[in-house]
């Protein structure tokens, strides 16, 4: 009788360990995603505050230079100077060490809007890019920024550890994907999508993609 009881208890322990292991496997994906999303949300909040603080220094030399710059390259240069102390940017990184990919696994083409030719290391262990873009309408963004929350470490993929935001002429910012409907956000923030709009989708509580 004791032997039967011991076997039953032993079997229950094995089953409990097995069930616990099964539960932990999917949680590991979610926990990794949660770390990146938490870091992204934290950085986005910081950047939002940063641009509101910049508005208070509207008379500074760098801001004036940015407003009066005649070329996109100059505007990009002054924007980098403006954000450098806030984002703790260091030297540009070597491109051959870093490849940007979309969530569907494809590399970001070099002529794509979301390809960043110049990227910077930050002292917080991130990789950051700032890019001036053509301002087609008064409501269009004038810069886009990308943030890789864990720097060189893989996957270096939009929607996984790369997120981005639009910067507007008036100093307002919003995450890439802002204004999309939820169905389009969900399709894009998937293994078959680009992952670009995850920047907004995760901020409104969208589910993680395993």
Enumerate the domain spans of the chain. Answer: 35-201
Q: Are the C-beta atoms of residues 196 and 102 closer than 8 Å to each other?
A: yes
What pLDDT shows up at residue 96? 66
What pLDDT shows up at residue 1? 52
Q: Please give the Cα distance from 103 to 119 (Å, whole number).
A: 20
What pLDDT shows up at residue 15? 46
Q: Please give the Cα distance from 81 to 86 (Å, whole number).
A: 10
Q: What is the 3-state secondary structure (H, E, C) of the chain?
A: CHHHHHHHHHHHHHHHHHHHHHHHHHHHHHHHHHHHHHHHHHHHHHHHHHHHHHHHCCCCHHHHHHHHCCCHHHHHHHHHHHHHHHHCEEEECCHHHCCCECCCCCECCCCCCCCCCCCEEECCCCEEEEEECCCCCCCCCCEEEEEECCCCCCCCEECCCEEEEEECCCCCEEECCCCCCHHHHHHHCCCCCCCCCHHHHCCCCCCCCC
What pLDDT shows up at residue 83? 86
* Predicted TM-score of the model (pTM): 0.79
Handedness of CA 129, 133, 137, 138 (dihedral sign): positive
What pLDDT shows up at residue 159? 96
What pLDDT shows up at residue 133? 86
Torsion of the alpha carbons at 176, 182, 186 and 189, rounded to the nearest 10:
10
What pLDDT shows up at residue 166? 94
What pLDDT shows up at residue 33? 78
What pLDDT shows up at residue 208? 74
Handedness of CA 74, 70, 52, 43 (dihedral sign): negative
Over residues 93-102, the pLDDT tens digits come to 776 678 899 9
What residues of the chain score a pLDDT lower than 70?
Answer: 1-30, 55-70, 72, 95-96, 136, 209-210
Using only the alpha carbons of the chain, give its radius of gyration: 22
What pLDDT shows up at residue 158? 97
What pLDDT shows up at residue 151? 92
């Amino acid at each position: 009788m004791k032997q039967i009881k011991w076997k039953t208890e032993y079997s229950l322990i094995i089953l409990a360990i097995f069930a616990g292991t099964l539960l932990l496997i999917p949680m590991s994906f979610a926990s990794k995603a949660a770390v990146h999303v938490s870091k992204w949300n934290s950085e986005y909040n910081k950047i939002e505050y940063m641009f509101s603080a910049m508005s208070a220094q509207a008379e500074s030399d760098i801001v004036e230079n940015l407003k009066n710059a005649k070329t996109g390259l100059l505007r990009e240069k002054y924007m980098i100077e403006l954000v450098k102390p806030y984002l703790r940017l260091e030297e540009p990184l070597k491109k051959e060490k870093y490849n940007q990919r979309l969530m569907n696994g494809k590399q970001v083409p070099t002529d794509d809007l979301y390809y960043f030719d110049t990227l910077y290391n930050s002292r917080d262990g991130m990789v950051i890019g700032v890019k001036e873009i053509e301002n087609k309408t008064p409501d269009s963004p004038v810069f886009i920024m990308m943030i890789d929350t864990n720097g060189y470490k893989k996957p270096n993929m939009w929607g996984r550890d790369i997120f981005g935001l639009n910067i507007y002429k008036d100093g307002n910012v919003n995450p890439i994907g802002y204004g999309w409907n939820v169905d389009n956000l969900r399709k894009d923030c998937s293994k078959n999508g680009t992952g670009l709009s995850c920047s907004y989708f995760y901020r409104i509580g969208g589910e993680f993609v395993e």
